[in-house]
Amino acid sequence: MQVEAIQKSYRRWAPVYDLTFGRITQGGRRMAAAHVNAQGGSVLEVGIGTGLALDFYEAHVQVTGIDLSAEMLREAELKAKKRGLRNIAGLHQMDAREITFPDASFDHVAALHVMSVVPDPERVLDEMARVVRPGGSVMIGNHFAGHAEGWTLAERLAAPLANLLGWHADFAIDRVLGHPLLRLEERAQVRPFGLMTFLRFRRVEG
């Protein structure tokens, strides 16, 4: 998807995202937050959207979020303010292909239901590996084509609607595997429905 199409799509979805896609994507967010809570430290959420994971991070975790969509970020800011969250280090409008933070800035980086949206997921993955410290975690939650039993027909039908839906239903898992700096440590299908897959990598020394 092109940047303009992404912004247009999420401008449309921002007001209702939590009640639609949000409900079927919370499993991966809970898994990512549980890992971060257990380890502690700082986390960068790439494509934080409306801030659906903010409630899951414990107070000792420092959370930074970036998103391309100003409308989505506005929802996240309102959510953080309404809940009185004090562990939000910052919410920034930013292109994930050019993350402006220095190398090794975070203990963890998460991209939850983002990789099938961005125009260049390989470049985004490079940036995620760059800004996480060696030994830190990179987590991806996403729907991957052919990895959700019983959903093959739905994937084929949804593929031409990428710009309308805001994500690619035919996104291949191989596009996020095999990065030289990221060692896969966990892979799981996410409840409910098994529609999403959760991947956790360890950043190795380069």
Q: Which domains does the chain have, with CATH numbers?
A: 3-203 (3.40.50.150)
User: What is the C-alpha R_g of the chain?
Assistant: 16
Q: Mind listing the pLDDT tens digit for each residue in 23-35?
A: 667 889 999 999 9
- Taking only the tens of pLDDT, the chain with its 206 residues reads 455 544 555 554 444 454 456 566 788 999 999 999 999 999 999 999 999 999 999 999 999 999 999 998 999 999 999 999 999 999 999 999 999 999 999 999 999 989 988 889 999 999 999 999 999 999 999 988 754 444 443 444 334 334 444 455 678 999 999 999 999 999 998 876 567 899 999 999 97
pTM above 0.85, yes or no: no
Start-end of H helices in the chain: 3-13, 21-24, 26-39, 70-83, 121-131, 152-158, 162-165
State how far the Cα of 147 lies from the Cα of 78, in Å rounded to an integer.
35
